[in-house]
């Protein structure tokens, strides 16, 4: 049996307003509670302020056993919260998902603090204690620091990786599981204990590790990605499809995680019970079965956060592997993340590429540290090296491609993942082997090869090239400088590395 923890956090969050459709918003909450009790599953409910001030929601939650149900806050900003803070409301509806009004980035630092203070004091007046868990699709670093420094927290959660979906872009970050963020930038893992915030951030929604990354990308990067996640409201692929759920649980909890396996399940009430019930009924029955078999642990978010703090002084390396797609046995994917970088290895039939490679820098500024967002959208990102989604255009897939010196493609075969302990993993694709370590990547092959970074002219999220030598590439993105150092191999150009005796070793720290 795998000795690494395999964790499911059921997190349902509660709104009291849904302006787009008339629906019963209390029914999903009551039904989720019934379902969790039926299957003896522990989990978390997060309250948005408009639900926090409505007794029909809080009275229901106050009857729950605190050993099974954790209560926290969900931070989307709503009209009654802004009114209480005596701040002008600029939204279209009492709850508006646009960033300039519905999220902390749309307010000054002093306003952010006032809004949090009201939210936390209201929570304490209702429940008798300050919340220990906090979630939001996209929140800023000042908000995170203020909560951590003023109230303390066991865990934060934020949205999955996505580009443009609902107007929220979080791109290039720690892909799954959890990380200690930089005090300077909540989206960026810290490299040092001195700079890290002592509250782990967990990534939500359970992304498909094969398809979500470039979902909707056919010949050009999708400006607004579609969704394929564990959310039960998606009925073509994702958490509303039993076949997808079975595949996801098998792959996500296969033990090839290096540190711990993780997914967040659940759904916000504003989708309505009818759209989520079939997926949740199937998922929760599976969670109960797998937990009884000792294969997963279903627990509240705060419990996972406290365990993470006790287990890790710094962000651990983690992996998510899929030895097939849910509908295609020839597709394979490995996500590897450390506090220094993240990468995705992707194979389709006999061709592979490094689909994604982003570096982390704890000093990379939060774009809304001293700026108020006036737009409907907001973006957090990290430092790009290769991007198989955003650098794809005109039918040419982005990312790092393997080719022979004669220009032909270097073939691959079946994927084998080996946990080498201490944050290291070895991934074999036949004659190509990739050693992933916390601060470097080493690629070996049975013959010399070229690693070619395909970036089509005119695409977004590209670094500027500052300097290039045989062994070093210096880059800049959004004013932050970073580099790649080669210990073996040679830069033939800023977008091509030639192996040395079949080996390339790149250092990212």
pLDDT at 394: 85
Query: Can you give the C-alpha Rg of the chain in angstroms?
Result: 23
The confidence score (pLDDT) of residue 215 equals 85
Q: Parallel, antiparallel, or unpaired for β 503-507 and 440-445?
A: antiparallel
Asked if 101 and 67 count as a contact pair (C-beta separation under 8 A), the reply is no
Cα 169 from Cα 151, distance rounded (Å): 28
Mean pLDDT of 142-165: 97
Average pLDDT score over residue span 113-136: 99
- Residue tagged 């302020």 (tokens): 49
What is residue 199's predicted lDDT score, i.e. its pLDDT? 99
Question: Residue 480 and residue 488: Cα distance in Å, rounded?
Answer: 26
What is the pLDDT at residue 457?
A: 83
* Element housing 69 (H / E): strand 69-74
221, pLDDT greater than 70:
no
What global pTM score does this model have?
A: 0.96
| Dist. CA 134–CA 204, nearest whole Å | 12
Question: If pLDDT is split at 50, 70 and 90, which confidence band does 1 have?
Answer: very low
Of 267, 266, 261, the C-alpha closest to 304 is 261
354-to-166, 336, 347 alpha-carbon distances in Å: 28, 11, 9
Residues 386, 213: Cα–Cα separation, whole Å: 13
Residue 307 pLDDT > 60: yes
State the Cα–Cα distance between residues 210 and 489, nearest whole angstrom.
29
Measured from the Cβ of residue 370, the count of other Cβ atoms closer than 10 Å reads 10
Q: Is 374 exposed, middle or buried (0-12, 13-18, 19+ CB in 10 A)?
A: exposed
Which tokens hold the place of 105? 């980035």
Mean pLDDT value across residues 117-122? 99
CA 97 from chain center: how many Å?
19
pLDDT for residue 330? 96
Q: Yes or no: say if 149 and 157 are a contact pair by the CB < 8 Å rule.
A: no
Mean pLDDT, residues 1-29 taken together: 91
Cα dihedral 109/113/114/115 (nearest 10): 100
Q: Give the pLDDT score at 218.
A: 55
What's the token pair of residue 246?
């079975």
Q: At what angle do helices 26-38 and 273-292 cross, to 10 degrees?
A: 20
Q: Residue 161 pLDDT > 70, yes or no?
A: yes
What phi and psi, each to the nearest 5 degrees, are found at residue 202? -110, 135
Distances in whole angstroms, Cα of residue 42 to Cα of each of 89, 170, 226, 286, 291: 37, 28, 30, 14, 11
Give the N- to C-terminal CA distance of the chain in Å, as an integer.
34
- What is residue 220's predicted lDDT score, i.e. its pLDDT? 58
Euclidean distance between CA atoms 301 and 202, whole angstroms: 9
* pLDDT for 347 beyond 50: yes
Question: Is residue 222 very low, low, confident or very high in pLDDT (cuts 50, 70, 90)?
Answer: low
Give CA–CA dist 37/69, Å, rounded: 10
- Please answer whether residues 110 and 87 qualify as being in contact, where contact means their C-beta atoms are separated by less than 8 angstroms: no
């Amino acid at each position: 049996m795998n000795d690494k923890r395999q964790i499911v956090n059921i997190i349902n969050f509660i709104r009291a307003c849904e302006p787009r459709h008339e629906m019963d918003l209390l029914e999903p909450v009551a039904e989720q509670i019934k379902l969790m009790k039926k299957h003896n599953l522990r989990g978390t409910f997060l309250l948005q302020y408009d639900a926090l001030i409505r007794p029909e929601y809080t009275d229901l939650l106050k009857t729950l056993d605190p050993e099974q149900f954790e209560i926290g806050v969900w931070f989307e900003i709503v009209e009654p919260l802004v009114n209480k803070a005596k701040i002008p409301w600029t939204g279209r509806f009492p709850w508006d998902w646009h960033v300039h009004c519905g999220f902390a980035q749309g307010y000054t630092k002093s306003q952010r603090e006032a809004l949090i203070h009201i939210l936390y004091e209201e929570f304490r007046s209702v429940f008798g204690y300050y919340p220990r868990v906090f979630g939001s699709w996209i929140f800023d670093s000042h908000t995170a620091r203020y909560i951590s420094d003023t109230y303390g927290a066991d865990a934060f959660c934020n949205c999955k990786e996505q580009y443009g979906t609902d107007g929220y872009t979080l791109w290039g970050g720690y892909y799954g599981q959890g990380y200690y963020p930089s005090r300077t930038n909540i989206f960026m893992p810290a490299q040092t204990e001195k700079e890290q915030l002592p509250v782990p951030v967990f990534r939500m929604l359970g992304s498909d590790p094969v398809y979500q990354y470039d979902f909707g990308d056919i010949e050009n990067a999708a400006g607004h990605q579609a969704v394929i996640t564990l959310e039960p409201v998606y009925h073509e692929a994702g958490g509303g499809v039993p076949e997808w759920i079975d595949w996801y649980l098998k792959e996500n909890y296969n033990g090839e995680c290096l540190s711990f396996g993780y997914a967040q399940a659940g759904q916000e009430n504003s989708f309505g019970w009818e759209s989520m019930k079939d997926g949740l009924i199937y998922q929760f029955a599976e969670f109960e079965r797998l937990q009884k078999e000792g294969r997963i642990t279903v627990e509240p978010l705060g419990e996972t956060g406290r365990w993470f703090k006790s287990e890790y002084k710094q962000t651990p390396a983690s992996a998510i592997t899929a030895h097939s797609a849910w509908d295609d046995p020839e597709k394979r994917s490995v996500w590897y993340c450390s506090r220094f970088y993240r990468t995705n290895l992707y194979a389709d039939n006999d061709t592979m590429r490094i689909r994604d490679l982003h570096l982390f820098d704890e000093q990379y500024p939060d774009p809304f540290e001293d700026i108020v967002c006036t737009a409907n959208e907001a973006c957090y990102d990290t430092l790009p090296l290769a991007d198989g989604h955003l650098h794809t255009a005109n039918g040419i897939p982005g990312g790092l491609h393997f080719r022979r010196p004669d220009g032909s493609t270097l073939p691959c075969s079946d994927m084998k993942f080996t946990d080498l302990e201490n944050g290291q993993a070895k991934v074999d694709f036949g004659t190509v082997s990739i050693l992933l370590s916390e601060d470097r990547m080493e690629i070996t092959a049975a013959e010399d090869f070229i690693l070619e970074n395909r970036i089509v002219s005119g695409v977004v999220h590209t670094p500027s090239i500052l300097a290039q030598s045989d062994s070093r590439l210096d880059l800049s993105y959004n004013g932050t400088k970073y580099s790649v150092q080669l210990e073996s191999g040679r830069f033939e150009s800023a977008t091509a590395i030639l192996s040395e005796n079949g080996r390339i070793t790149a250092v990212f720290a």
